[in-house]
Amino acid sequence: MLDEKPSILIGVLGGMGPAATVDFVAKLIAATHAARDQDHIPLTIWSNPRIPNRNEALQVPGAPSPLPHLIYGVRQLEAQGASFIAIACNTAHHWHGEMQAAVSIPILHIADVAIAAMRAAGLKAGDAIGLMCSDGTLASGYYDARLDAAGFKTLRPTAAMQQRMMGCIYAVKEGKLDLAKDLALEVAGDFLAMGARNLLLACTELPIALGEAEMARLPCLDVTSAFADACVRHALALERQNQGVA
């Protein structure tokens, strides 16, 4: 009997939001060196846009928690045979520990990947980093903790900057990309005026808002792209290990 199970399978927990999930998957494909279909890495995607709002859960007393839905999603990916899981949402990583405890396969952490990518890009301890992210990610503090541990100087937004940031994020969710770009550029400019050496695009809607051309002009790290690159490297290393190749 033919065993059709792939030797490696990336599980993507998405839907938060849908466009951000599509962007992440497109970057997974772009990060894979392939000359034919068979060179790409098998994926399984659990995309549930109806998971309760992560930002409200972290900020509004009594708001519904997304955690039961997140745990259900990662368990579905494990049941589908995923080798490891990538969560295509920065804010959802607040519950990374609980999700990891619910499954036996690894769940990569997007912030760990971001810190490694910043170091690889030549950023050093003491460099000022502008943290562009959602209200929930800001409230969670997991990026701050990792940036501080790495010796970076974390620049957090003012209340007015963060209000524009959330306007940008929701403009992407509504498909208002021109407005999203304008708001993202305003916040980026404010961070640069504050002395940021680099901008950490720590929300999966931000690369969609800015687009490739604007990101190329800014000193920034597209965390979505860095995460996709790391997932491809991890998948290929696991596949070589499974095949007994050094």
Distance separating alpha carbons of residues 129 and 106, to the nearest angstrom: 28
pLDDT, averaged across the chain: 96
Based on the residue annotation, tell me whether 89 is a catalytic residue of this protein: yes
Over pLDDT 90: what percentage of the chain? 94
pLDDT in tens, 125-135: 999 999 999 99
Pair (117, 188) in one structural domain: yes
Which listed residue (89, 168, 220, 231) is catalytic?
89
Task: Indicate the pLDDT class of residue 113, thresholds 50, 70 and 90.
Answer: very high
Pair (136, 40) in one structural domain: no
Which listed residue (168, 203, 220, 231) is catalytic?
203
- How much is the average pLDDT of 176-187? 98
Task: Indicate the pLDDT class of residue 242, thresholds 50, 70 and 90.
Answer: confident
Count other Cβ atoms within 10 Å, centred on residue 72: 13
Pair (149, 238) in one structural domain: no
Please state, in angstroms and as integers, the Cα–Cα distance from residue 236 to each residue in 67, 165, 179, 213, following that order: 30, 35, 38, 29
User: Which residues are bridge partners to 151 per DSSP?
Assistant: none
Q: Is residue 158 part of a domain?
A: yes
Pair (94, 121) in one structural domain: no
Q: What pLDDT, on a 0 to 100 scale, did the predictor assign at position 175?
A: 97
pLDDT in tens, 136-168: 999 999 999 999 999 999 999 999 999 999 999
Query: Domain total for the chain?
Result: 2
User: Which residues are bridge partners to 107 per DSSP?
Assistant: 85
- How much is the average pLDDT of 181-189? 98
Cis peptide before 17 (omega within 30 of 0): yes
Please state, in angstroms and as integers, the Cα–Cα distance from residue 133 to each residue in 26, 42, 45, 136, 237, following that order: 21, 30, 24, 8, 30
pLDDT at 2 over 70: no
Distance separating alpha carbons of residues 205 and 89, to the nearest angstrom: 9
Q: Is residue 175 part of a domain?
A: yes
Task: Indicate the pLDDT class of residue 4, thresholds 50, 70 and 90.
Answer: confident
Helix, strand, coil shares of the chain, percent, nearest 5, are: 55, 10, 35
Distance separating alpha carbons of residues 6 and 233, to the nearest angstrom: 17
Q: Is residue 129 part of a domain?
A: yes
Task: Indicate the pLDDT class of residue 58, thresholds 50, 70 and 90.
Answer: very high
Pair (92, 119) in one structural domain: no
Pair (21, 80) in one structural domain: yes
Pair (216, 229) in one structural domain: no
pLDDT at 3 over 70: no
- How much is the average pLDDT of 93-99? 98
Pair (169, 232) in one structural domain: no
φ and ψ at 200, to 5 degrees?
A: -95, 110
Pair (203, 236) in one structural domain: no
With vertex at residue 218, the alpha carbon angle to CA 214 and CA 219, rounded to the nearest 5 degrees, is 150
CA-based nearest residue to 130, from 220, 213, 18, 11:
220
Based on the residue annotation, tell me whether 203 is a catalytic residue of this protein: yes
pLDDT in tens, 38-57: 999 999 999 999 999 999 99
Pair (93, 72) in one structural domain: yes
Full domain range(s) for residue 200: 111-223
Left, alpha or beta for 21 (phi > 0: left; psi -120 to 50: alpha)? alpha
Q: Which two tokens stand for residue 214?
A: 């604007």
Pair (36, 116) in one structural domain: no
CATH of the domain at 99: 3.40.50.1860
Pair (78, 121) in one structural domain: no
Q: pTM for the whole thing?
A: 0.95
User: What single DSSP character describes residue 92?
Assistant: G
Q: What pLDDT, on a 0 to 100 scale, did the predictor assign at position 243?
A: 82
Helix (H) / strand (E) element for 222: namely strand 220-222
